[in-house]
Amino acid sequence: MSGVQQRVTGNDESINVNTYHSKMYTTQDPITLTLGNGIQDGQMKKLTFVFKGTETANVVVECPSLIDTYSEIVFTEVGDFALLLWTGGNWVVLETGNSTDPTLQPIIQ
């Protein structure tokens, strides 16, 4: 895994599983991103919503391999983050929160 951070800005873009931290940016419109399967058991992945171009410009991360019946993480506010762990078959959400407002967090659905 690379220590380089990924900057994700485009709709239908894949989140790189080869980097630990992916920072997500929007402009005018909401974006939908995809997180594929991890590379090895115990791999960790951090996602952070860094810049929101407009009030409605949210980020939806589609992740079919989330544990249980979940398949999306919805980031609605700047500072929203999620820390994930790959178990070899599923991503497990270890932590969610917001770095600027502790009352906020992304939605797992």
pLDDT tens figures, 91-103:
999 999 999 999 9
Domain assignment of residue 56, given as a range: 6-108
Domain-located, residue 64? yes
Q: How many domains does the chain have?
A: 1
Domain-located, residue 82? yes
- pLDDT at residue number 73: 98
In sequence order, what are the residues at sequence separation of 6 or more whose Cβ sits closer than 8 angstroms to the Cβ of residue 14? 33, 34, 35, 36
Domain-located, residue 21? yes
**Mean pLDDT along residues 48-71:** 95
- pLDDT at residue number 10: 84
Arithmetic mean of pLDDT over the chain: 94
Tokens representing 12 are: 């239908």
Domain-located, residue 1? no
- pLDDT at residue number 51: 96
What residue type is 54 in one-letter code?
Answer: T
Give me the CATH number covering residue 22: 2.60.120.640
**Mean pLDDT along residues 72-82:** 98
- pLDDT at residue number 1: 63
